[in-house]
Chain A
Amino acid sequence: MLDRAMAAISGTGHRVVNGVWRFGFACRFFLAVLLHSGISFRRFSLTIKEIYFSGVLSLIIILVSGLFVGLVLGLQGYETLQKYGSESALGTLVALSLVRELGPVMSALLFASRAGSAITAEIGLMKATEQISAMEMMAVDPIARVVAPRFWAGVISMPLLAAMFSAIGVFGGYLVGVVMIGVDEGQFWSQMQSAVDFRLDVMNGVIKSCVFGVAVTAIALFEGYDAPPTAEGVSHATTRTVVTSSLAVLALDFLLTAFMFRGI
């Protein structure tokens, strides 16, 4: 009985110590990525290649999801608003919810599962097949050559994807609200424009998605780099990337929203 309690306590202790250790390593890894970022900009073609893989190839899923989210927002928003006779505020509802929350958050979650998991799997496999080791032996720093360009590609792609998600979502809301249901087009746009502030709403959304881009890409890269170099290790790391980065996005979203939209 006592033995089992002791084992549980020491097990927990081990896990906590391990967690802190890993977190410390993650911080050092992140710092190293930032310090070795020079090459990502001096040889921008490296970063461009990664923008293609994480940004361009995520485009379809982002655009399709954005359109559907906009369509649903249009339908649900109309159902609720018409009870209070304020269908004309549909544009405001759709635009604000997309620009402030759904655009950055949904696209970050989709990005985590589409591009983040791919990054983890790729880096993990490069490690498992000794490509990272080979690069080190060829006197090329894998952090600078492999990790940093992927990081900056993610940071650049994320706000662009989020903006496209929001824009096509608003278009989806317009399709349902104005074209299908018949809300007055002038009111739809004008109410939206008077309620959505460029600096406070649009720019804050962009800032949010930049932060999410940093978080998701950094987590994906770290999980890949830290993965045990086996098939099992890589598949676990891929799962962890999606889980950790989704939770990180939601938690960061709460924090950022609390800072940005609490008025003062």
Chain B
Amino acid sequence: MERTTLDLWVGLFVVAGLAAVLVLAMKVGNLSTFNMSESYNLQAEFDNIGGLKSRSPVKSAGVVVGRVTAITFDNKTFRARVSMVIDKRYQFPKDTFAKILTAGLLGEQYVGLDPGGDDQVLKGGDQVAKTQSAVVLENLISSFLYSKASEGDAKK
């Protein structure tokens, strides 16, 4: 008699625990929206990746389509090589344009994919040819100051 009530409690406990994992997966995490089980790899080279990190999202038209898996430095071209996994459900044309963008002024950086118009699509292991580097705040400020300075020169 005692044993069955004990079993009941333990059963409830395990079910509640698994339900909590499920809540974490579906409600807190992004398992419901983004499934990485079916995916392919893409490469891209950038002059400067700014604050991009591995695990940063890859977005197209604002939708998360993949994630950055690795960032390495190419010793021949002296550029950063970014590897990404993209969800198999999303296909992009060969002449897709990869940019490093920032979410908001101080937000995290992500890779944005602008689809081009080519008929052929990118396949696993392909490299995205056209890239645009991250906007580095220091460069932005210095170029702004420089243009201000040259404006000032012109007014004189």
- Which residues on A are within 8 Å of B, measured CB to CB? 45, 48-49, 51-52, 55-56, 59, 84, 86, 95, 99, 156-157, 159-161, 163-164, 166-168, 170, 189, 192-194, 196-202, 205-206, 263-264
Give Cα A201–Cα B12 distance, bound, in whole angstroms: 26
B28 beta carbon closer than 8 Å to chain A: yes
Contacts of B104 in A (CB 8 A): 86
User: What's the least CB distance linking B81 to chain A, in Å?
Assistant: 14
User: What's the least CB distance linking B55 to chain A, in Å?
Assistant: 7
Q: Is the CB of B20 within 8 A of A263?
A: no
User: What's the least CB distance linking B65 to chain A, in Å?
Assistant: 12
A168 (CB) vs chain B CBs: closest residue: B20
User: What's the least CB distance linking A10 to chain B, in Å?
Assistant: 51
Give Cα A164–Cα B31 distance, bound, in whole angstroms: 18
Contacts of B7 in A (CB 8 A): 45, 48
Q: Is the CB of A167 within 8 A of B20?
A: yes
Q: Is the CB of A199 within 8 A of B36?
A: yes
Q: Is the CB of A197 within 8 A of B30?
A: yes
Give Cα A113–Cα B12 distance, bound, in whole angstroms: 23
| Contact A194:B6 (CB < 8 A) given known A160-B20, A264-B70 | no
A-B contact pairs, 20 of them (CB 8 A): A52-B13, A56-B10, A56-B12, A95-B28, A157-B13, A160-B13, A160-B17, A164-B17, A164-B20, A170-B27, A193-B28, A193-B29, A194-B64, A196-B30, A197-B30, A198-B25, A198-B29, A202-B31, A206-B21, A263-B54
Give Cα A86–Cα B104 distance, bound, in whole angstroms: 10
Contacts of B19 in A (CB 8 A): 167
Give Cα A55–Cα B6 distance, bound, in whole angstroms: 12
| Contact A56:B17 (CB < 8 A) given known A194-B30, A198-B30 | no
| Contact A163:B28 (CB < 8 A) given known A49-B6, A84-B106, A264-B70 | no
Q: Which one of B10, B53, B54, B64 lies within 8 Å of A52 (CB-CB)?
A: B10
| Contact A198:B55 (CB < 8 A) given known A56-B9, A167-B24 | no
Q: Which one of B16, B29, B54, B57 lies within 8 Å of A202 (CB-CB)?
A: B29
Q: Is the CB of A52 within 8 A of B28?
A: no
Contacts of A164 in B (CB 8 A): 16-17, 20
| Contact A197:B13 (CB < 8 A) given known A52-B6, A167-B24, A202-B21 | no
Centre residue among B20, B25, B30, B57 by max chain A CB count within 10 A: B20
Centre residue among A84, A189, A192, A202 by max chain B CB count within 10 A: A202
Q: Which one of B10, B14, B57 lies within 8 Å of A194 (CB-CB)?
A: B57
| 6 extra A-B contacts, CB within 8 A, seeds A45-B3, A59-B13, A193-B33 | A51-B13, A55-B10, A56-B12, A156-B14, A197-B55, A264-B54
Give Cα A199–Cα B67 distance, bound, in whole angstroms: 13
Q: Is the CB of B23 within 8 A of A167?
A: yes
